[in-house]
Structure 1
């Protein structure tokens, strides 16, 4: 499995309209106008506000004759307060479109801001439970252009945002089918300056989406095929992107893989995310890093019911042997290669309330997509393995 299509400039939809290619940020002002907007609001996180991708975005809008607002009060794990403040900023500035730029945090916050700007109900009323999404008013939604600067969450192609409810210390998945951005600008050049450790952590996030989607027991053959190809792309290109951040082909292929992982995850997620969500909410830890640490422990726990599926994956990835152990070993070795610690204490989590995390994980929407039914005892077993190593 060594032949790949070169990541060349192109347009596609699935169903989101994607403009992919180096330097395509230059088209942003034209896209804003195509969507009938005149006063865009650029939303990013505080860590990105002075860096090249965001400054280039603001420059392109200004050169295109558009007066853009700029909101950057977004935490690495975005909160309900961040969204509320963004909605107020958007309304006060009379903005008619959101330009979401950044990693998953910025994109999730921006999508939530655009959705909630036209709602009369609370954001938490749109938590991804049952048919809550039908409560939203979709009569005057604010359009969104999403510009990813990391290859991780794939949120630019997603229909949900993960937002922390600070009062409950809980990560909430806010969902609506219309949250999917109207246009995605995938410009690999905007990811060149990403540090190696962030490239690694976000890349492992993309891997977690594709892997859990592939392993989820639900039937969605299209998503499963997309997940498989995303896994192959990540296996090939993530180490190269981390080793040489200026490798534009690796950056491009990882952007593609990240988006594919997000598309695939509609098939389901599992224990990796069911545990990462409460751990992230309680400890404010990077989501991709949590997923990377938890991944082999969850896969080992699920392996007894996934042997045939993981054997197929091992063959597809051309691993040394074709069994579940080969897949687990690949992930462990990849994590070492990327200098990611093997345990939760290794990333600074030394005072974990196991019972609370297990209880929160059991009620997380992602728990239902795990191949083995998750209860508190099972989640506690995985968690203790990730603590002890």
Structure 2
């Protein structure tokens, strides 16, 4: 199967093995002459990053690099990146890596020409209209994982280092102008990152599919995204060089992030404060809390999950789907609980408070209250 394509939804996407070779061309198409490549510390010195910088330098585009990005990036990382961006007189950002590098790169480009502080643009009401659109630099996204889908997102998740809360920074122009999806870049991922990011993609699709909001386009995308994860994640996990499985997982990641325009829910409402407070891997946390959230939401989503199970070829309706999630987690070596993830003596009051103020709560099929949210957290430990 020829898994290569040029897509224009939801933005310009150059998809296929080896297409990182088109990075310099993409920069020129967006008008960048001096881009800053933003990635995380773990990727900064790896061959895929060095090769990208070599390509930029050979094309006369410099080799600007910022990599002081934490696994859950915060406003301190953003300020440091902005300082490098401005000192180097850069004119655009290449957001390169997993969710952390992509999210921070997008925020650096977004904030490069703003005069207000970062938190003024949190995804509340129409706060995004406070931004000066002319002050948003061009963005090219190059994902090296297959999970967050941040490469096709109009928002970034940034942790407030003071309050330990994850905040969503939103603006339509945060959507990258060009995305290069090259599955070859994902083959070097450690197995636990393949597992966690893959389950993040599955969580995005599952929550979008389950959300009570009306968005049939997202509904269909979410269902097909779940199928791609079901048929390819375990192969990518056990055979890391299988480019077909890797390509399908990159598609599933983008589909999840496109679909969750319809809404997210309790999986993300729980994982955001957990990640902010205890610095856990986001996708892995989503996987750990997925079954308890399914149990909580069953009363509202059973018929919908029955239909999904039929489409996915899972026998047993809701119960079969629920068991499939548990079997998949076990096969991917996902911890069985938050306790197993290493979280002991959790601050339950703060976790419940963080979950209830998270924007994802509004898309949960069952209304989240202090009582059922506390019970849900307790079920995850």
- Matched residues in 2 for 1:179 and 1:101: separation? 15
Please state if 1:287 is matched with 2:282: yes
Match of 2:105 in 1: 110
Alignment counterpart, residue 123 of structure 2, candidates 128, 134, 144: 128
Q: Any idea what the Cα deviations from partners look like across 1:93-145, whole Å, max 9, x if unmatched?
A: 00001011000000000000000011011110111111111111002420000
Match of 2:152 in 1: 157
How many Å apart are 1:330 and its aligned residue?
0.7
Match of 1:92 in 2: 87
Query: Helix, strand or coil for the counterpart of 1:120?
Result: coil
Q: Any idea what the Cα deviations from partners look like across 1:294-352, whole Å, max 9, x if unmatched?
A: 0011011101111110110110111022x211111110000011111110011111121
Query: Helix, strand or coil for the counterpart of 1:350?
Result: coil
Match of 2:218 in 1: 223
Match of 2:200 in 1: 205
Gaps of 5+ in 2: none
- Matched residues in 2 for 1:188 and 1:267: separation? 27
How many Å apart are 1:68 and its aligned residue?
2.4
Alignment counterpart, residue 348 of structure 1, candidates 342, 345, 364: 342
Q: Is the 8 A contact 1:114 1:144 kept in 2?
A: yes
Match of 1:243 in 2: 238
Single out whichever of 107-116 and 349-358 deviates more from structure 2: 349-358
Match of 2:161 in 1: 166
Query: Helix, strand or coil for the counterpart of 2:62?
Result: coil
Match of 1:376 in 2: 370
What are the residue-to-residue correspondences of 1:314-329 with 2, within 5 Å?
314-321=309-316, 323-329=317-323
Q: Is the 8 A contact 1:164 1:281 kept in 2?
A: yes
Q: Is the 8 A contact 2:10 2:258 kept in 1?
A: no
How many Å apart are 1:65 and its aligned residue?
2.1
Runs of 4+ deviating beyond 3 Å = none
Q: Any idea what the Cα deviations from partners look like across 1:31-75, whole Å, max 9, x if unmatched?
A: 111111110100001111111221121111122222121000000
Please state if 1:175 is matched with 2:170: yes
**TM-score, with structure 2 as normaliser:** 0.99
**TM-score, with structure 1 as normaliser:** 0.97
Query: Helix, strand or coil for the counterpart of 1:302?
Result: helix
What are the residue-to-residue correspondences of 1:24-39 with 2, within 5 Å?
24-39=19-34
- Matched residues in 1 for 2:63 and 2:138: separation? 15
Single out whichever of 263-272 and 344-353 deviates more from structure 2: 344-353
Query: Helix, strand or coil for the counterpart of 1:99?
Result: strand
Match of 1:330 in 2: 324
How many Å apart are 1:197 and its aligned residue?
1.0
- Matched residues in 1 for 2:256 and 2:335: separation? 23
Please state if 1:298 is matched with 2:293: yes
Pairs aligned (count): 381
- Matched residues in 2 for 1:360 and 1:314: separation? 32
Residues 7 and 380 (structure 1 numbering): CA distance in 2 closer, same or farther, change over 3 Å?
Answer: farther
How many Å apart are 1:7 and its aligned residue?
5.1
